[in-house]
Amino acid sequence: MVIVINDDRVSDVDAYIPLAQAFAADAAANDKGCLSMEVLTDPGVQGRVVYISRFETKEDFEAHVKGKTFTKHVEKLGKYFLSASDSIYEVTDK
C-alpha cells in the first residue's frame, strides 16, 4: 500500500472544499486501488488544503492521476488551484 500526500495551495478554500470533497468521494468509490482519500485544511496556513490518499499500489495512484475521475474534477478544482507538492510513501509492515 502507498500513502499519497498532496499539499495544495488554493485561492479560495471555502469554494474549493466542496469540490475537493466531491472529488475525494468519487475517487474512493470509483478508482481502481483507491482505498480512501481525505481532504484536510490547515487553519494555520491560509489557502492550504491537504489530501491524504491510500492506494493499493503506486501504479494505481499513477493511473488515477491519468484517469476519468481526475479529469472530470480537475477543471472545477483548477479554478482555485495555485500550487502543489506530492509525496508518495510506501507502507511497511515493520
pLDDT-based confidence at residue 94 (cuts at 50, 70, 90): low
pTM for the model stands at 0.92
pLDDT in tens, 44-91: 999 999 999 999 999 999 999 999 999 999 989 999 999 999 999 999
The full set of domains in the chain, from first to last, is 8-90 (3.30.70.100)
Given this model, what pLDDT does residue 93 score? 78
| Residue 36 CA neighbour count, 13 Å, CB half | 5
Given this model, what pLDDT does residue 83 score? 97
